[in-house]
């Protein structure tokens, strides 16, 4: 069941398994991400009408272009004439791209890591950061091999996200979070690599390492973390360790 959350005056998140947001920029609206199901258009129209009123949607900003973030892009373009902005449809300058209205300002910054097209959406006046799938409530934001250069990219990405100093962080999926969650995940990633490397050096098997490296107690209530995310992260780091990349 989706929940509408007002993070700042005129800035809302539709929080569910897939998250999206919209902001009253001052006479026009800006949308962040566009869900997975195109048949949610009517629900979204009603929700936006209740929260920011009936006004034009000038831009739809996608944090990346996986299918669970873009389903309503064509609808917004057709119904409102909105321009869809993501790293595939537009060039994002190194310094970022700004969108200014009479009410607030928004910046898009390229930050590839989960995909080559990742962007984060930053509202500096409200201190709200839309992080897309760069933060996954315990997941390493990469499905491939964790070679040393990729590990460095993940760490640098998180340091940059933490550097925004956001009051609210909106991940692509699940509950909202804070900069504290980003800092805790980065520490967890470092701890995971260190403990796996130590286990390998001690000659332990993968099963022995897995039994020893359990989810940290202060992260066990993270969204869906215990079900599979810790195991997935551990599997990736173990593979990196056995490949000599830690």
Give domain limits for the chain.
3-242
Which residue is listed with tokens 């195991």? Answer: 231
Sheet holding 97-100, edge to edge: 97-100, 105-110, 119-123, 128-132, 168-171
Q: What is the pLDDT of residue 183?
A: 98
Distance CA 46, CA 37 (A): 16
Distance CA 44, CA 72 (A): 9
Q: What is the pTM of this model?
A: 0.97
> Which residues make beta-bridge pairs with 59?
30, 83
Q: What is the 3-state secondary structure (H, E, C) of the chain?
A: CCEEEEEECCEEEEECCCCEEEEECCCEEEEECCCCCHHHHHHHHHHHHHHHCCCEEEEEECCCCCHHHCCCHHHHHHHHCCEEECCCCCCCCCCCEEEECCCCEEEEEECCCCCCCCEEEEECCCCEEEEECCCCCCCCCCCCCCCHHHHHHHHHHHHHHHHCCCCEEEECCCCCECHHHHHHHHHHHHHHHHHHHHHHHCCCCHHHHHHHCCCCHHHCCCCCHHHHHHHHHHHHHHHHHHCCCC
Read off the tokens for 168.
């609210």
46: left (phi over 0), alpha (psi -120 to 50) or beta: alpha
Distance CA 225, CA 107 (A): 30
- pLDDT by 10s per residue, the chain, length 246: 899 999 999 999 999 999 999 999 999 999 999 999 999 999 999 999 999 997 799 999 999 999 999 999 999 999 999 999 999 999 999 899 999 999 999 999 999 999 999 999 999 999 999 999 999 999 999 999 999 999 999 999 999 999 999 999 999 999 999 999 999 999 999 999 999 999 999 999 999 999 999 999 999 999 999 889 999 999 999 999 999 999
Please tell me the CATH code under which domain 3-242 is placed. 3.60.15.10
CB 231 within 8 A of CB 138: no
């Amino acid at each position: 069941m989706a929940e509408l959350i007002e993070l700042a005056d005129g800035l809302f998140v539709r929080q569910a398994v897939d998250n999206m947001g919209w902001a009253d920029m001052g006479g026009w609206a800006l949308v962040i991400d566009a869900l997975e199901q195109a048949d949610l258009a009517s629900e979204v129209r009603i929700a936006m009408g209740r929260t920011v009123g009936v006004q034009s949607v000038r831009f739809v900003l996608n944090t990346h272009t996986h299918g669970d973030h873009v389903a309503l892009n064509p609808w917004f373009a057709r119904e409102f004439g909105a321009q869809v902005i993501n790293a595939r449809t537009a060039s994002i300058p190194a310094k970022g791209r700004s969108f200014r209205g009479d009410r607030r300002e928004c910046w898009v910054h390229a930050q590839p890591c989960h995909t080559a097209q990742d962007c984060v959406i930053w509202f500096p006046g409200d201190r709200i950061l839309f992080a897309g799938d760069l933060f996954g409530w315990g997941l390493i934001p990469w499905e491939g091999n964790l070679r040393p250069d990729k590990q460095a990219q993940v760490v640098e990405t998180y340091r940059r996200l933490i550097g925004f100093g956001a009051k609210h962080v909106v991940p692509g999926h699940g509950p909202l979070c804070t900069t504290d969650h980003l800092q805790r995940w980065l520490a967890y990633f470092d701890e995971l690599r260190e403990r796996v490397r130590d286990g390998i050096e001690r000659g332990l098997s993968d099963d022995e390492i897995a039994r020893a490296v359990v989810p940290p107690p202060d992260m066990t209530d993270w969204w869906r973390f215990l079900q599979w995310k810790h195991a997935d992260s551990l599997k990736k780091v173990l593979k990196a360790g056995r490949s000599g990349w830690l």
